[in-house]
Amino acid sequence: MRTKILLKEADLPTHWYNVAADMPNPPAPPLGPDGNPVGPDALSAIFPEALIEQEMSAERWIKIPDPVREAIDMWRPSPLFRAHRLEAALGTPARIYYKNEAVSPAGSHKPNTALAQAWYNQQEGVHRLATETGAGQWGSSLALAGQLFGIDVRVYMVKISYQQKPYRRSMMETWGAEVFASPTDMTEAGRGVLAEHPDSPGSLGIAISEAVEEAASRDDTNYALGSVLNHVLLHQTVIGLEVKKQLALVDDYPDEVHAPCGGGSNFGGVAFPFFADKAAGKDIRLVAVEPASCPTLTKGAYAYDFGDSVGLTPLMKMHTLGHEFVPPGIHAGGLRYHGDSPLVSQLHHEGLIDAVAIPQLETFEAGVLFSRTEGIIPAPESCHAIASAICSARQCVETGESKAILFNLSGHGHFDMAAYDRYFKGELHDYAFPEEELKASLGHLPRVG
């Protein structure tokens, strides 16, 4: 029985897949402060033209530039695994597959877009980028990309993650980036938050405000985002495109695809290429998995909202808990975001993809079972997809169905061992979902129209 399903370097996809081409309704446009759709000009202060074009494109296939393909082949194509040992431990008739994105230098899927974004910026003469990071996976990826393409990188890292994961900071610094614990006193956005909440643990929304403010206020600096935006999800579709080729080698096809969902980029990356088949009539379930304490898709409103906490970004139509919502300090730092990708949100709103929310302890339980059977210690974010896939595989035990269940192992947890320690000591708990805070935060959604 095959365990690893591998592709050759020549099999690396030549084009990214743009889901906008197959959506039944065109993506809702981002809006400016006047309530009108923003044009490319409004974005050009912080993004290179090529990425703005991709953001608004409806072309189904977009060519991957040769230098980007040659850079991501440092670790791509990534392996697809059949999880025989996990299947045996569960006693399930299901066939479980996982795509291993932990093999990248930074340890997750994030470099797939970081290298592309850095290259496009370099091509347009930009040599300084500001960004945010939650868990540190994105900041590390952009730090590496900056190093490869000659770009200085400045990272606003969510304070609670900065404290929980000191070695992620070391990693970013090793690749030459500067890292600050957000909220900082270096930006107006950060100072505003600190004035009201001196002990703020930070959030992705706050760190985005700081990085956007820096990029918008300096001619020499652009902004790079690690998720949410259409072009980021586009760059991640190499994941699902490779999986399709890999499953064809073993003559299989998934009934279900599970992926952790923070801003939506690894979910979009693995699931969108399968959405193309779903749009053509194929029966396949695409499941975005989020934390019960930050349940954007399952409990958020579908509304126009800011992508950051302070309100510097255009308004995006998305599932949101409100831009003022500061999620509890769970260890899956990459899933602590108040909003979600507009593409993922629209597909969920239209009933074309599914979402589930899972409490923290269940995700660690799944991560430990996975570590003890398959050997790889997963990132806390990835544990969400594992928990959801295990839940389906256990249902197969009841029903006797032999479903093919695919999940995306979006990253390894080697920098998250403090979280595992706390789990083993019984110090982790499930956060009660803060209904009252959500109500208050949704009361402050911006008015549109």
Catalog residues that contact ligand PLP under the rule CB under 6 A.
Answer: 108, 134-135, 137-138, 227, 260-267, 334-335, 379, 381-382, 410-411
Radius of gyration of the chain (CA): 20
Tokens representing 53? 């074009």
Shortest Cβ distance from residue 138 to ligand PLP (Å)? 5
Shortest Cβ distance from residue 1 to ligand PLP (Å)? 28
**Interstrand relation of 80-82 and 4-5 (parallel, antiparallel or unpaired):** antiparallel
Shortest Cβ distance from residue 376 to ligand PLP (Å)? 12
Shortest Cβ distance from residue 419 to ligand PLP (Å)? 12
Shortest Cβ distance from residue 304 to ligand PLP (Å)? 20
Rounding to the nearest 10 degrees, give the CA dihedral for residues 252, 366, 106, 145. Answer: 70
Nearer to ligand PLP, 214 or 340 (CB): 340
Q: Which residue has the tokens 């039944």?
A: 24
Shortest Cβ distance from residue 357 to ligand PLP (Å)? 14
Nearer to ligand PLP, 297 or 396 (CB): 297
Q: How far is CA 126 from the centre of its chain?
A: 25
Shortest Cβ distance from residue 344 to ligand PLP (Å)? 8
Nearer to ligand PLP, 260 or 327 (CB): 260
Q: How far apart are the first and last CA of the chain?
A: 59
Nearer to ligand PLP, 75 or 253 (CB): 75
Write out the DSSP string of 229-245: SHHHHHHHTHHHHHHHH
Distance CA 318, CA 234 (A): 17
Distance CA 142, CA 151 (A): 9
Shortest Cβ distance from residue 10 to ligand PLP (Å)? 27
- Encoded amino acid at 240, one letter: G
Nearer to ligand PLP, 313 or 410 (CB): 410
In degrees, to the nearest 5, what angle opens at C-alpha 37 toward C-alphas 32 and 38?
Answer: 60
Which strand ranges, in their side-by-side order, compose the sheet holding 222-223?
178-182, 152-158, 128-133, 222-223
Exposed e or buried b per residue across 350-370, where buried means at least 16 C-beta atoms within 10 angstroms of its C-beta = eeebbbbbbbbebbbbbbbbb
Shortest Cβ distance from residue 33 to ligand PLP (Å)? 26
Cis before 24 (ω within 30) = no
Nearer to ligand PLP, 96 or 135 (CB): 135
Helix (H, G, I), strand (E, B), or coil: what is residue 382? helix
Distance CA 379, CA 332 (A): 8
Nearer to ligand PLP, 376 or 396 (CB): 376
Nearer to ligand PLP, 92 or 104 (CB): 104
Nearer to ligand PLP, 163 or 395 (CB): 163
Nearer to ligand PLP, 267 or 407 (CB): 267
Write out the DSSP string of 329-346: --S-GGG--S---HHHHH
Q: Which residue has its beta carbon closest to ligand PLP?
A: 334
**Whose CA is closest to 180, among 219, 152, 210, 142?**
210
Tokens representing 267? 């979910």
Shortest Cβ distance from residue 159 to ligand PLP (Å)? 16
